[in-house]
Structure 1
Amino acid sequence: MSTKTAPRTAPVAGVVGLLVAIALIALAVIGIHDLIVTQGWASGHAWARGAIDGINHSTRADWVIPLAVIALLVGAVLLFVSFKPRRTTYQLVPDEDESAQVWVAPAALSQLAKSASEDVPGVLQAHPKVSRRRIRVSVRITPGADRDQIAQTATDQIHERIGDLSDLPVKVHTQEATA
């Protein structure tokens, strides 16, 4: 089973890359503006000139070292984010011979579990939650109904409805509806 072709979320580094690209575009706009002004093609003053002159005649302040440490930490976080693997968004359908890779969305499994458990007599509402490890379903049942019997029937119905799409364990939690 190869996970190279697994459907995955968008990388977190994409958001960081977008922000860095916007910052570089802003620097380019400032540079182009300053070029136009210094060449005399337009009137005004260079935006970067004041910043450069201010830096040239300054001494180190007390806030520079903490700022450098913060910049180092931000750089380390960005480096970590760039190498962080993306999460899979779908679950692999179990296949005995592993010849084909078929993926199912957790939302689809959730809908199947919900409809299967709501078809059980005595169940008023079902709220499924599908994770990577299990399918949990919280069901509200009619007052006075046999909780264990409904939980077992709902579990069997969910396994039957999902069939070969998933081999995740199913946990059904029952709660009586208040009158």
Structure 2
Amino acid sequence: MTAPPDSAQRSREEIVAENQDLAEGKIFAPAAYPGAAIVGAVLGLLLIGLACIGIRDLIVRVGWLDGSSWTQNSAAWIAERTWQTWMWPVAVILVLLGLWLLWLAVKPRRRTHVQLGDYQVMWTRRGDVARRASAALLTVTGVDHATTVVGRRRAKVTVTVSGEVDKTLLHDRATEAISPLKHPPRVKIRRVVRSREVRS
């Protein structure tokens, strides 16, 4: 029994339909951790340390532990200080640190994946696309080695060939390998023939 002639097309359409986002709202691309994540964790640990000091001073105050209150002594020392010249650079550094922390909190997160053209919620990494392109180029007769680096606007390919290889064929294979992306980068190929390099 033979399948209907358009069964393959229907199958692809079904696959595409299954990978569409059914939820309402904007679709966000996979992204790296926020810039403030690590700094926020460090600040959280510092605040936990301050809380431990506060608990220690509370224990001292109720008489369960001998010693003086660290927070009270620190507050008294700060209150007795007067403005001095060395405080200017410290103030500038603290202002710059505050601006840097503010930038970490609002800066956009770096995207880690790129979107596939036909699928609304399917993504892949640039490194995987690069490996796909390199593998496709290795199928060309005469290509000994291929290295691909995929950027936002350009895919740089370096191929080592043992003889003359059609540069149009190399370009077509690399372009076909990265074509499933929604926004495929432009392919730039550098051919290395034995001890000399040929750019195309």
The two structures have a TM-score, normalised by structure 1, of 0.84
How far did 1:163 drift? 4.2
The RMSD of aligned alpha carbons is 2.2
1:87 aligned residue (90, 110, 124) = 110
How far did 1:89 drift? 1.2
1:24 aligns with 47
Superposed counterparts of 1:1-179, under 5 Å: 4-95=27-118, 100-142=120-162, 145-146=163-164, 149=166, 151-165=167-181, 167-178=184-195
SS in structure 2 of the partner of residue 164 of structure 1: coil
Identity of aligned residues (%): 33
What amino acid does structure 1 have at the position aligned with 2:126? P
How far did 1:91 drift? 1.0
Count of residue pairs the alignment pairs up? 171
How far did 1:164 drift? 2.6
Q: Distance in 2 between the 1:65 and 1:39 partners? A: 39
How far did 1:102 drift? 2.4
Unpaired runs of 5+ residues, structure 1, are none
Q: Distance in 1 between the 2:195 and 2:164 partners? A: 15
The two structures have a TM-score, normalised by structure 2, of 0.76
Q: Distance in 1 between the 2:120 and 2:27 partners? A: 13
Residue-by-residue CA offset, 1:124-159 (whole Å, 9 max, x unaligned): 2111101111211111222xx226x2x322221123
List, as ranges, runs of 4+ consecutive aligned residues in structure 1 with deviation greater than 6 Å.
none
Residue-by-residue CA offset, 1:74-115 (whole Å, 9 max, x unaligned): 1111111111111221111224xxx73322221221111110
Q: Distance in 1 between the 2:135 and 2:189 partners? A: 14
What amino acid does structure 2 have at the position aligned with 1:8? A
User: Structure 1 residues 11 and 160, CA, compared in 2 at 3 Å: closer, same or farther?
Assistant: same
Q: Distance in 1 between the 2:179 and 2:83 partners? A: 68
Unpaired runs of 5+ residues, structure 2, are 1-24
Is 1:91–1:132's contact at 8 Å kept on the other side of the alignment? Answer: no
Q: Distance in 2 between the 1:141 and 1:100 partners? A: 38
Q: Distance in 1 between the 2:123 and 2:50 partners? A: 44
Is 1:138–1:172's contact at 8 Å kept on the other side of the alignment? Answer: yes
What amino acid does structure 2 have at the position aligned with 1:159? T
Q: Distance in 2 between the 1:172 and 1:153 partners? A: 11
Residue-by-residue CA offset, 1:26-77 (whole Å, 9 max, x unaligned): 1111111111112111223333344233323332221112211111111111
2:22 aligns with none
